[in-house]
Amino acid sequence: MPLRLFTAALLTLATLTALTTPANAETAAAESPEAAATEAPQPLISRDFPDADLLQAGTTYYAYSTNASYDGRLVNIPIAQASSITGPWTTDGVDALPRLPGWVAFDPGSGTYRVWAPDVSQRADGVYLMYYTARHTSGLQCIGAATAGTPTGPFTPVGVEPLICNAFDHGNIDPASLVVDGRRYLVYKDDANSVGRPASVWIHETAANGINWIGERHKLLTADAGGDERTVLDAPIIVRRDGRFVLFYSADAWDANYHVKYAVGTSLTAPFAKQGTVIDNTTWPGSIRNPGGQDVIGDHLAFHALTSGGRGLHVTEVAWRNGVPVLTDAPIVADGTYRLTALHSGKALDSVLQRTPSQSPTQRWALARQTDGSYRITNEASRLALTCAGQPVSQTAWAGRDDQRWYLDPDRAGTYRVTCKATTRALDVSWASTADGAEVITWTQHDAANQRWTLS
């Protein structure tokens, strides 16, 4: 899946789930308005158009997809065009890569050649460079390159062999280009999950032509064998934001529980830290199914999701908040009184500790949304506001300071990351303790369950 560098103003995203019902629903309904219902993004291309890579050239937007059938003819790399990223998009069956190199194998199962997950970018010399995945005659999936003078091509394959085709990786797929401070890189994944092993994401610097390698490659991320990734780590793309790099990827099987996650790093040559989920089947329940194959362009996130016509192209707006990518059109948490329960322990936030859930007012927290999108979180027993100054967290008289303002960023179905505006750190049970009386602190954001909270 494609990727390209955007400016520091680039916006991206993180997952927001359905509206949470307050514990005192009747009181909340009387005292504050309910969150506005949010419609799921509608497919901009309803037909099969998976793994789309988006490119803006001048005033025109281009989208390139995995191969698909048009009027009974398999197009290797279909192209769509639009004058706005939100469409309307025109798809006419034009093939950006009509001629394949000899290393691409014929697939007897489909009776065709198979080409996947393209990435198109413009080099400094003005040439358009395409990376693509195809099945090699050896049986491995491999990454090839092609060039053209215009965004629509036709692209001409470079060389007579793949750009990357490592047997020790069990193949290589999902290429994505990246330019940072004038240096060009290729991001891709190995195909270890095809043999039941966890896949990894790699990055390798290239020459300005995007073809010749510089130095050694570096591993950035490896899929979990269990959990919600199930060895699959697809479609890696990297964007730069606020002095760090954010790596988006798709996890689990594309036809099972595909979903978009993200990780962060401060260097392109060191491992990235997993953060959480961006979009999954619970983001817009019943409307968006198996989202994945993502790309980011400007302040929009593009992804495919299942439609009646296949994996259609969808686009949603995104923004950054405290280093976390969020959907700008997702529903918000309604004002009301809630219990905050740590996912890893099942225990509730009680004053500044975690304790077994009870009806104590020290476990009841009034959430009040502020004009900047943050929340004041006030303890019912003390009438003081949750505050992130010092460790553990504390309670102080409300003064509207940033250390008293908290963002509620839904991370998965039923769980939220609660981050302090002043520090960008997340509400965290110290040492992931499951004991009654464990301190609740703030800590650097990560993907563990002791930073995931349910609101009830």
pLDDT at 108 over 90: no
Given a cut of 70, whether residue 418 has pLDDT beyond it is yes
What is the tens place of the pLDDT at every residue in 357-402?
999 999 999 999 999 889 999 999 999 999 999 999 999 999 999 9
In a domain, 2, yes or no: no
Mean pLDDT of the chain: 89
Element (H, E) at 28: helix 25-31
Q: Which of 216-225, 324-333, 354-363 has the lowest mean pLDDT?
A: 324-333
- What is the secondary structure of 199-259 as a DSSP string? -EEEEEEE-TTSSSB-S--EEEEE--SSTTTTT-EEEEEEEEETTEEEEEEEES-TTTT-E
238 and 117 in one domain?
yes
∠ Cα 412 246 6 (to 5°):
125
Dist CA 146 CA 166 (whole Å):
19
233: domain CATH number is: 2.115.10.20
110 shares its domain with 207:
yes
pLDDT score at 154? 97
Query: How many other CB atoms sit within 10 Å of the CB of residue 435?
Result: 12
The Cα 408–Cα 199 span in angstroms is 31
The helix/strand/coil state of 450 is helix
At which residue do the structure tokens 């401060």 appear?
Answer: 266
Boundary of a domain, candidates 327, 353, 386: 327
Per-residue pLDDT at 164 exceeds 80: yes
User: Does the structure show a pLDDT above 80 at 431?
Assistant: yes
Domain boundary pick from 295, 327, 359: 327
Distances (CA, A) of 301 to 8, 329, 335, 419: 16, 12, 28, 23
On whether residue 20 sits in a domain, the answer given is no
What is the model's pLDDT at position 120? 98
- Indicate the DSSP class of residue 95: E
- CA 448: distance to chain centroid? 17
Average the pLDDT over 218-222 and give the result: 98
Range of lowest pLDDT (66-70, 215-219, 291-295, 397-401): 66-70
Looking at the structure, do residues 259 and 353 belong to the same domain, yes or no?
no
pLDDT in tens, 337-346: 999 999 999 9
* 390 & 252 share domain: no
Same domain, 113 and 190: yes
- pLDDT value at position 331? 66
Higher pLDDT, 227 or 383: 383
Where is the domain boundary, 280, 308, 327? 327
The upper half-sphere exposure of residue 348, i.e. CA atoms within 13 Å in the direction of its Cβ, equals 18
Cα 436 off chain centre by: 35
- My answer on whether 175 and 80 are in the same domain is yes
Q: Please report the pLDDT score of residue 394 as a whole number.
A: 97
Strands 292-297 and 273-279: unpaired
CA–CA separation, 312 and 267 (whole Å):
34
Q: pLDDT at position 17, please? A: 34
Q: Give me the residues paired with residue 303 across strands.
A: 314
Beta partners for residue 335, in sequence order: none
> For 51-113, where are the E strands, in sequence order?
53-57, 60-64, 68-70, 73-75, 78-82, 90-95, 106-107, 112-113
In a domain, 18, yes or no: no
Please give the pLDDT value at position 10: 34
Instruction: Judge if 353 and 244 occupy the same domain.
Output: no
The residue that leads in pLDDT, 258 or 321, is 258
Domain span holding position 383: 336-455
Look at the chain and report how many structural domains it folds into. Answer: 2
Determine what percent of the chain is predicted with pLDDT higher than 70: 90
What is the spatial distance between Cα 131 and Cα 209, in angstroms, rounded to a whole number?
12
Q: Is 266 helix (H, G, I), strand (E, B) or coil?
A: coil
Do 271 and 353 reside in the same domain of the chain? Answer: no
Residue 107: CA atoms inside 13 Å, Cβ hemisphere, count? 14
**Tokens matching residue 121:** 């970018």
Average confidence (pLDDT) over 201-212: 98
Same domain assignment for residues 123 and 255: yes
pTM for the full model?
A: 0.84
What average pLDDT does the segment 351-362 reach? 96
Instruction: Kindly report, residue by residue over 119-160, the tens digit of the pLDDT.
Output: 999 999 999 999 999 999 999 999 999 999 999 999 999 999
Q: b/e per residue, 352-390, with b = 16+ CB within 10 A?
A: bbbbeeeeeebbbbbbebeeeebbbbbbeeeeebbbbee
